[in-house]
Amino acid sequence: MDPKKIGNERSTRDVPLGFTAAAAAARRAFRPLHPADAPGAMSAPALEHPPPVARLDGAPRRLPKGASDPISQRGGGCECDRSKGAIVLFYAYVPIADPASLVTELRATCGSNGVTGKLRIGREGINGTAAGSHVGIDAMIHALASCAREPRLAAAAKSLDYKRAPGCACLFDDLSVRLVPEIVPFEPSTGGAKSARKKRRGGRHATVGGDDDGDKRGTETDASAPSAPSAPVPCPVGYLDPRDFHDAVRDRAASASTSDVVILDVRNWYESRVGHFEGAVLAPIRRFSQLPEYVESNKTLFHGKDVLMYCTGGIRCEKAARYLASLGENDGGGEKKNGDDAGVTGRPRSVRQLRGGIVAYARDVLGAEAGAEAGAETKSAYKGLNFVFDNRGAVPVTSDVVTWCDGCGARSNRLGKCAGFGCHVILVVCEACGGGNGDANGEARVFCCGSCEAQTIARETTPGAKQKRKPCECDGYESRRRRLLPTPTPGSVG
């Protein structure tokens, strides 16, 4: 597999280039746990490609074509007293019988109570982040907990950890409540690819069962499914509360040998770049659906290891954990392997998720005001910012600066975007380099790569000419991996 092609924008928009049959088949071999077992929070869909859906006012598009939301530099930019309101982050994996009606109901409830945010609803559950007054947020939660049409959701909503924090409706520009096939996208969007994977599964599928500690896992198999020559060793999937996760990370750091324990950050590269747990593997992925491709190319990192996994609020870990635990289940002995990778499926010995994600860690281990707390830097195993998908941009967990400016290489954690036309790549851009979105009046501009800069200059110098945007030369695993390094390498700046 060519590492330069892996994660390329053109290859991953539909079906990732280099996807093997094993990765594709294993990807579907899991089901998330239900919310009673896994309360947590969410992260909204990636910023690069906002879906062209209608707003409440009927407008077909909130932003002009080719534009994306700017990165806030003022923590939301409003003057509201956020103690009078709240922002919540939550998810629930629970079957929804009539998701379309729930969309309509929540849209009305939130709209009439001044609540903004992003709610994603599908047959597998609900994924939401919302902000507004305390009265408005309470009204939304009450609508969930008293939904007679969806009794399982109502029961789950009563015990969810909503991760309530001070906030206001200004943290989102509007309200978006959408019906989606997945409440956090993990599958390629093309039906043909899904059908091909379904055929490769040979009719066999798996569900996750067992108690909250993940010590039991159930599988369900069609009667017509071919029998595998030998069953893989079970991989237990469970949770660690924030304080226990903290201790596990610290124990790994203090151990003379860390080879058997892997800390895995399953967020996108621009999230983990500005903040992460010490010693974590930072996957250079642009979107969550690229994680199986990355794992498939790095199976030895995880095979037979104890994996400690985390994300923003827990929802991505639900799917990622079951995916890792399912590796090797679909091989069935049909594909003979030779060489150093013989028998290496990537299947861990165990997987433990940080319950509630980084948001819960900052709250429970460091206190409500994590970033401002004296001594947080020495207490925290997480260093830097927590990237969030609202107008705050990123929330300090500690004051540590763990990355560098894409323009000059100076230490910085100031977020910006590529100045290229139609390019929405999130960069780190220090104050001196102009914030990443400069203009033609001499303001400094930072581009993600030389090809993006050349395309932009060509467009500016030949106005009116039709120029189709080409993929950036930096859009691949290797360039993202370089940006995740603690210090810049030659050729990676400017």
Q: Which residues are tagged catalytic?
A: 311
For the record, the structure tokens of 321 come out as: 């954990």
Residue 493, judged by CB atoms within 10 A of its CB (0-12, 13-18, 19+), counts as middle
What's the rounded Cα separation, in Å, for the pair 448 and 453?
8
The CA–CA distances, whole Å, from 464 to 185, 203, 459 equal 37, 54, 8
Residue 418, judged by CB atoms within 10 A of its CB (0-12, 13-18, 19+), counts as buried
What's the rounded Cα separation, in Å, for the pair 453 and 449?
6
Q: Which ranges constitute the DSSP H helices of 48-98? A: none
The number of CA neighbours under 13 Å toward the Cβ of 14 is: 5
What's the rounded Cα separation, in Å, for the pair 23 and 18?
10
What's the rounded Cα separation, in Å, for the pair 336 and 463?
57
What are 178's strand-pairing partners?
120
- Which amino acid belongs to residue 426? I
The phi and psi torsions of 166 (rounded to 5 degrees) equal -55, 135
Q: Are the CB atoms for 42 and 89 separated by under 8 Å?
A: yes
Residue 393's nearest CA partner among 172, 233, 153 is 172
What are 87's strand-pairing partners?
131, 165
**Contacting residues for 284 by C-beta, under 8 A, at least 6 apart:** 7, 269, 294, 477, 478, 480, 481, 483, 484
What's the rounded Cα separation, in Å, for the pair 319 and 31?
7
What's the rounded Cα separation, in Å, for the pair 489 and 409?
9
DSSP track, 241-271: -HHHHHHHHHHHHHSS--TTEEEEE-S-HHH
For the record, the structure tokens of 264 come out as: 């895995």
For the record, the structure tokens of 197 come out as: 């994977």
Residue 359, judged by CB atoms within 10 A of its CB (0-12, 13-18, 19+), counts as buried
What are 41's strand-pairing partners?
314
What's the rounded Cα separation, in Å, for the pair 349 and 135?
46
Residue 66's nearest CA partner among 446, 397, 459 is 459
For the packed helices 134-145 and 99-112, what is the interaxial angle rounded to 10 degrees? 160
